[in-house]
Each structure stands twice: as structure tokens, then as C-alpha cells.
Structure 1
Amino acid sequence: MYGFETRAIHAGQEPDPTTGAVMPPIHATSTFAQDGVGGLRGGYEYSRSANPTRTALEECVAALEQGARGLAFASGMAAEDTLLRTVLRPGDHVVIPNDAYGGTYRLFSKVLERWGVSWTAVPVSDVSAVRAALQPSTAVVWVETPTNPLLNVADIKALADTAHDAGALLVVDNTFATPYLQQPLTLGADVVVHSTTKYCGGHSDVVGGAIVAADPELGEQLAFHQNAIGAVAGPFDAWLVLRGLKTLALRMERHSDNAERIVATLSAHPAVTEVLYPGLADHPGHEVAARQMRRFGGMVSFRVAGGEEAAVAVCNRARVFTLAESLGGVESLIEHPGRMTHASAAGSALEVPADLVRLSVGIETVDDLLADLDHALTP
């Protein structure tokens, strides 16, 4: 198998056979001419069912995650919803992280509950807690690792064994780690999901999602539901994510370099009470992360002395770090999860600490980022 960087640039992206274009064309078409009734050219008939630009992205992301089938969607939540409506039935039960992404929590608590699906939130970094939460009706163990926003780490291999012993699937949201830093399917996971809006796209200019399945049969089922439900990635969005994937390895190295410098500075800052980052030797998941990740990534969370208002003030004082939701772009972002990305979890078991600040560390000059954080942390 070719190396990661080679696959990112070439998988699913052979030069165009008609023109020789080295970049995949953007096939901005809704329908395709047929050579007689049922005579499809290359298998394409209608762009909801399949589009060549989307196919290129799907083949590339499958190659990067080392899976059997990749599928691209209009958003990460569209990918999650399609996956769950494929593998769940009314009466099924799901185990989810007790600090899951707010949108994922909302999908389970406000949408799937009404469909008859129950769920239990536990710390997925604790294999025994996951095992204890399993029920006879458990169909899926849903894992983020690192989690959003507390950056807890789950042991993918151990949880795959635990889920499979119970007859359940292990699904891993790999958005934070990316396929460059971590490949869950090689550790026993059944399905990987991504918000390709984030690191895969990498430039904060596209919204998208992806699923990669390890099993070809499940991949076919997911493809059927992708077409039936219809929340597919458009050709221009697919092209933008493909472009982003080409530089993913380079960007993740710089994101990680910058994050490590920032973590070291925050750890010594008097206004910071705790830094959450898997690369820290005293992080509870450090050993597992070191084993299953190439590096520790560009996401950093920290808690601020003075509570919620102090944390909000830090976010408001930042200048190089842009105050915004989302993550994974080349630019650095700062946010207050309790009032922003995780507001939907307020008052629930998944509520995040009020004094928490989350950083998406970009690829700017790191000294500028450090100076900006020092300014933001100084009243």
C-alpha cells in the first residue's frame, strides 16, 4: 500500500481520461445522458445517486481510513443521521460519550429518542463503564476520541472487543484526530465518521461529512440509505474537501507543533487551572493516545481561574484567535463551549464545565498565537 501522503493526493483521482486534467473536474450536473434506456455511462444517472467528483472524494477518504467503502455527505450531522438510520431500529440502545459533541447529543436526545432509540452517556475512556452500560438491545457503541471538548481518549481496540462481544457495532467519530493521526478501522472499529468541514477540508470554506465502513456489505447498505435519504455532498463541496485532503498530513504536523507549544505555555500560566491535551504526560489517556495516534493533534481545552465570566472574557479578548464555532481550519479559533458549541447540552448529564475554553490551534506563526493568548489571559 502507498504511504498516506501519496494516497491523499492520488487515491480516486486519476487524471481525467478525456483531457488529462490532473485535478478531478467539478461535475456540476444534476443528470447524465444515457446511451439508450438503462445504458449508463460509467454508472452515472443522477447526481443524488452518484457524481464523479463525489466518487473521487469517497474513494480517497476510504483509502485514507483503510476501509471498504467511503460515502460523502452534505454535513457531518447528515452523515451521522444516515448512519444511525441505517444501523438502528426502534427499540435499540446506544452508548455515547458523556461529553459528546453537542450536535450528536441533540441528534440522540431530540430526534432519535422520538423514533424509539434509547441511549446512555458514559465516560468512553473507561472501558468498564462502557461494558456496564451495555444492554441486550445495545446496537451501537458511539465513540469520539479525543472527545469534544474535554479531549478524553478512548481505547479503540478494547472498545471494539467490548462492543463486538455484545453484538454491537463500534462507531468512531474521528474528526478531531483525522485519518492522518488515527485510523480506527485498523484497530477494530466498524465505522468511522467525519465532519469533513473540519480538518479534512481544512480551510473553513466548506461544510461536509463522511462515513467509512470496514465491511463491504454494510457499505452497500449505507450507500442505499445515502441515496434514499439524499443528504449528499455537492460536487463543488466534494472538490474542496478533496483539495484539503491533499495537504492534510502537512497541516496536521503544523497544527500539532503549534498545539504542543501552546500547551506548554498554558500549563505554566497562573490564570489557567487545568490544561486538557492528550499529549501531556499526566493526561489520563496519554498512554492510550500515544499507542493509537501518530501525534496528539491541534485541539486544546483549558479551564480558567475565576469561573465562567473569566472564561468568556478570555474568549472576547483574543485577537489572532478568532472567536468562532467550528474547528480544524488553518486559522486559530477560540470558543466558550458552554455557551456556544455545547449549549444544547446545558442542564443535561453532558453539560460541560462553565470555566472551559476550547482552542482550535491553527498554523499561524506560533509566537503570535502565544502572545495573543497571554494578552487574552491578562485582565
Structure 2
Amino acid sequence: MHFDTLALRATHQPDPITGVVVPPIHLSTTYARNEANELPGPYIYTRPNNPTREALEKTLAMLEGGAVGMAFGSGQAATMTLFQALSPGDHVLLSTDAYYGTPALLEQVFHPWGLTYTRVDMRDLEAVRASIHENTRVLWCETPSNPMLDIADLRSISQLAHDAGAICVCDNTWATPVLQRPIELGCDVVMHSTTKYLSGHSDVLGGALIFKEEAEFTQRVRLLQGLSGAVPSPFDCWLVSRGIKTLGVRVRAQSDTAQRIAEFLTNHLAVESVHYPGLENHPQRSIIQQQMKGPGAMLSVQVKGGADEALRFIGKLTLFTRATSLGGVESLIEHRATAEGPNSITPKNLLRISVGLEHADDLLADLAQALD
């Protein structure tokens, strides 16, 4: 089944009683018992389970080809819950180039608690192998990475994890299941910030974990999800489900425009370098062709002249909104080092671009006038 059909079928769950085509939002936080003090169904309180959230979780599992999906109140909540399911003394291996909030969680929250971690360039398989410890429990990959768009070989890294008795987790937020299916490549868990492409309209906060199988670790994470209450509201779940219906169409259209923008910027004299999986000179080109169905709609550009010139450039743009986040229908641009703060390791002249659904010619014209 093609992805677009799968996305629509997964979110199309008519109510058997009313026949409504669009699933309802179940806002109730509690459920009534009958005269015998028995619950009529599996629901007792909305923190451990909710019909609208369950519908989204089933959809997420179907899209990624997993057995179990779990929805959270944010991408960080999903990440945090997975790390909480580990034990003090366990070790996590993390991509050097990763969303800055992930190592921040490990350093500021879990390291004092007893979790250890190492950051390694996931492109270097020998370095990955050498960094695995006896107590390594998780290899955390992010591919394409944020913000350098480096590519990790998921098949090889998953095998290294399994050889060591660890699990491989992939942050698939940027690629989405439209372009990359980590579980099919050997990963055990897929993470998403559903705030981004899955919802697609910059109006909902959410996260997700999708598990390859219903294992003991899966059950541990589910327990923590319910106990901690790190769950999205029913309305937010409904918004994400609505966004998923058009996910494939949006991602392909945005990717087509991103390809044109990357090629334009690559050939501009004011640009130092462009980081984008769709360019032929990308250093992991062969891996991209093996594990991705398209390059995506995210790119980063380094402008000649340092941070001052980069900031001057984005100040002249009129169609790109200067804002954090990504994956919405509007095009966004940000000076990434500023967003990450004083400890950022991102090049000071780097701008991260999330390509939206505006006409490609208009976006190219805007970029051209700002660079000239």
C-alpha cells in the first residue's frame, strides 16, 4: 500500500454507532461505572488511556511499521520518558550532531541521576563500535541530523547495537515515515516530535515513540507514560491525526522546493556551503540512496562573512519567517547558534531553513534579493 493511502486509512476510523467519517474528540477525563460499580469499557481516567490518544497511537504504529505507538505531550517528553525507563548506571551513546535538547536532557537531568552518556560521530562506524561500553543500553541516532544534516547508516548502527545487547533509537522527525522507515532498517524504537511534520501546521505540541515490538522495555515506557502524565490532550491528538492525512503530499511538495533552493544556494557566490541530502556532493550520498526515499524539506546554509552577514541576510527576507521550529506549511529560517544558546557548537554563520508550501519561484526570488 502506498504511503498516502496508508496515512488516510490509518486516520479514517468511522464511529460504529454514529457513522461519522471524522473521528470525534473524546474530551472527558473520567468514565462512569454502572450500577454494579463496573466500568463498561477499558477506560477509567484519561491519563493512562484515552480513546482519541489510542487512535493516534495506532496510527503512528501503522505509519512506522511498528507494533506499539505511544503519544506524548512533546518530543522532549517522549525522549525523557525513554531515558527514564533506563536504570542508573546505564550508558547511552548519542550522535554528536543532534537536536540540542537531547544532550541537554542527558547532561542536566539524567547524568546527576546516574545515567552516563557519550557523544560520537555516528557517521564513523568504527568510532561507534569503540564507544560502546558493557553497560551501553541505547544507541540514539538522529538522521538527517540537526542542524548539519549528516546521515547515519541505520542498518549498520542497529546491528552494532544488537551485537552489544543494546537497542537502537532513531529520531525520525526530519525525514518522517514518508521518506524513511527506521524500523525496516533494523531500529527498535522511532522517536518523533509530532509538533513538526506529522501535525504540519505549527499549532500543536506533541511527541511520539513507536516500538518495533511489545517487549519488557516497551511496557516499562508505557508504565512511565501513564504514571508521569506526560501525555497530550485529546484535542492535540486529534490535531496530529488530522495533519497526518496530508503528510505525504506536504512532505513531497516541500522536498521538491527544498531541492531547488539547495541547488540555487550552492551556486551563489555569497554562500560558503549548503547542507542538504539531495545534493550530489553530500558525503553520505550512497547511504541516502539506500535508506531514504527523498531528501526532505530541511536544509542548512552557511553564509560567507560570519554571523554578522548571516544575520544581515535573514533580516532582509520577506517570505521566510524568522522563527524556531520546522515542518509547518510556512517557510521558516533561524540563526541556529542563537536559538541553541551560548553552549552551541553550531557554526556561527549557519542558518537552518524549513521549507514550506509557498511557490518555489517566490521563495527563490526572496532568497536572491536578500543575498544580493
TM-score by length of 2: 0.97
Contact in 1 for aligned 2:11/2:241 (Cα 8 Å): no
Greater mean alpha carbon deviation, residues 17-26 or residues 67-76 = 17-26
* Matched AA of 1:245: I
Contact in 2 for aligned 1:199/1:329 (Cα 8 Å): yes
Q: Which residue does 1:366 correspond to in 2?
A: 360
Q: Which residue does 1:77 correspond to in 2?
A: 76
For 1:12 and 1:366, locate their aligned partners in 2 and report how far apart those are by CA, in whole Å.
Answer: 30
Unaligned segments of structure 2, at least 5 residues: none
For 1:364 and 1:57, locate their aligned partners in 2 and report how far apart those are by CA, in whole Å.
Answer: 28
Unaligned segments of structure 1, at least 5 residues: none
* Matched AA of 2:83: L
- The alignment partner of 1:22 has SS state of coil
* Matched AA of 2:68: R
1:69-148 to 2 correspondence within 5 Å? Answer: 69-86=68-85, 88-148=86-146
Q: Which residue does 2:23 correspond to in 1?
A: 24
CA 1:356 to 1:39, structure 2 compared with 1: closer, same or farther past 3 Å? same
Contact in 1 for aligned 2:11/2:244 (Cα 8 Å): no
Q: Which residue does 1:286 correspond to in 2?
A: 285
Q: What is the deviation of 1:109?
A: 1.2
- The alignment partner of 2:253 has SS state of helix
* Matched AA of 1:142: W
Q: Which residue does 1:169 correspond to in 2?
A: 167
Q: Which residue does 2:225 correspond to in 1?
A: 226
For 1:41 and 1:225, locate their aligned partners in 2 and report how far apart those are by CA, in whole Å.
Answer: 25
Q: What is the deviation of 1:41?
A: 3.1
* Matched AA of 2:361: D
Could you give the per-residue CA deviations for residues 269-309 of structure 1, whole angstroms, max 9, x where no partner exists? Answer: 01101110111111111111111111010001011100111
CA 1:28 to 1:133, structure 2 compared with 1: closer, same or farther past 3 Å? same
Contact in 2 for aligned 1:12/1:55 (Cα 8 Å): no
Q: Which residue does 1:203 correspond to in 2?
A: 201
1:242 aligns to 2:236 (yes or no) = no
The alignment-based identity, stated in percent, is 49
For 2:325 and 2:353, locate their aligned partners in 1 and report how far apart those are by CA, in whole Å.
Answer: 10
CA 1:329 to 1:137, structure 2 compared with 1: closer, same or farther past 3 Å? same
Contact in 1 for aligned 2:67/2:213 (Cα 8 Å): yes
Query: Which 4+ stretches in 1 moved above 4 angstroms?
Result: none
* Matched AA of 2:159: D
For 1:250 and 1:128, locate their aligned partners in 2 and report how far apart those are by CA, in whole Å.
Answer: 38
Please tell me the root mean square deviation across aligned C-alpha atoms, in Å. Answer: 1.3
Contact in 1 for aligned 2:64/2:181 (Cα 8 Å): yes
* Matched AA of 2:266: S
Q: Which residue does 1:258 correspond to in 2?
A: 257
Q: What is the deviation of 1:10?
A: 2.1
TM-score by length of 1: 0.95
